[in-house]
Amino acid sequence: MKSEFHPKIQVSIAGDESFFGPGPYRLLSYIDETGSVKEACNDMGLSYSKAWKILNRMEKELNEQVVIRARGGKIGGHTELTEFGKEYLKLYKEYNDRVQQFAKEEMDRLFAALKKK
């Protein structure tokens, strides 16, 4: 067995339905970086309406506001993460990193005998 194999785990969080995983994580991260849902969508190749569906579903499931919306106009709109949104983003990353590490350690442990062959 090749030693460079690694587990591929996609960590998602679900309530009534799955609402947070790698895609929503990237969306919130880009919004946090750019202050713009539109720019985040451009960076991700995601439609603007789809992004808002993701954000609205997330807020509904969490029963918390994750973004603060400032409507457009002549100078354009602005969107930023709430403190809750920033904390949720941070905790998801930590949780995801721990799950990935655990999966790698378990794979290495369970398949160790096959690596020796």
Contact call for residues 12 and 5 (beta carbons, < 8 A): no
pLDDT of amino acid 35: 94
User: Which pLDDT tens digit goes with each residue over 50-98?
Assistant: 999 999 999 999 999 999 988 765 666 789 999 999 999 999 999 999 9
**3-state DSSP assignment of residue 69:** strand
pLDDT of amino acid 87: 98
pLDDT of amino acid 112: 86
User: Which pLDDT tens digit goes with each residue over 104-115?
Assistant: 999 999 998 787
Q: Which domains does the chain have, with CATH numbers?
A: 21-115 (1.10.10.10)
Q: Is the pLDDT of residue 2 over 60?
A: no
In our burial notation (b when 16+ CB lie closer than 10 A, e otherwise), range 53-80 reads ebbebbbebbeeebbeeeeeeeeeeebe
pLDDT of amino acid 77: 72
Q: Which secondary structure element, helix H or strand E, spans residue 18, and what is its range?
A: strand 18-20
pLDDT of amino acid 82: 97
Residues paired with 21 in a beta bridge: none
Model-level pTM? 0.86
CA–CA dist 116, 29 (Å, integer): 41
